[in-house]
Amino acid sequence: YCVEFQLVAITPGCLQSHQPYTHWMQYLREGHTVCVECQHPALDSQSLHCYGDGSGSKKNQLLHWQAVGNPQCKGTWKRIRRLNTCSCPSVHSFLFI
């Protein structure tokens, strides 16, 4: 499954990343919607949820995220909805880990 989130706050560290594998971080913008896919091995086999998917959060609750490969790139987002069938666009599409 996938979860859509709206980016609320992004640290300046996302824009200051110049490694080849972190170029995607420069395209993150506050207010944008991102799509995050839950698949193995991040999927917990008992609960059938990915840790951090915000399934227990209240409406408009701010949730924290951090990018892999750059500890200075993190921020907050709000869960919009869960999608049982993933149709995430290739841009602004991520995986839970």
Q: Which residues contact 83 (CB under 8 A, 6 or more apart)?
A: 1, 2, 3, 4, 35
Number of separate domains in the chain: 1
Q: How confident is the model at residue 9 (pLDDT cuts 50, 70, 90)?
A: very high
pLDDT at residue 60, rounded to an integer: 86
What pLDDT band is residue 78 in, cutting at 50, 70 and 90?
very high
Asked if 67 and 16 count as a contact pair (C-beta separation under 8 A), the reply is no
Res. 36: pLDDT tops 80: yes
Considering only residues 62 and 14, tell me which one the structure prediction assigns the higher pLDDT: 62
Structure letter (DSSP) for residue 45? T
Classify residue 31 as left (phi > 0), alpha (psi -120 to 50) or beta.
left
Range of the domain at 81: 2-95
CA distances from 22 to 16, 43, 44, 87 (A): 10, 24, 27, 23
Query: How much of the chain, in percent, has pLDDT values that exceed 70?
Result: 97
CA distance 76 to 34: 12
Phi, psi of 76, rounded to the nearest 5 degrees: -125, 155
Instruction: Name the range with the highest mean pLDDT among 6-15, 23-32, 45-54, 82-91.
Output: 6-15
Selected residue with higher pLDDT from 92 and 79 = 79
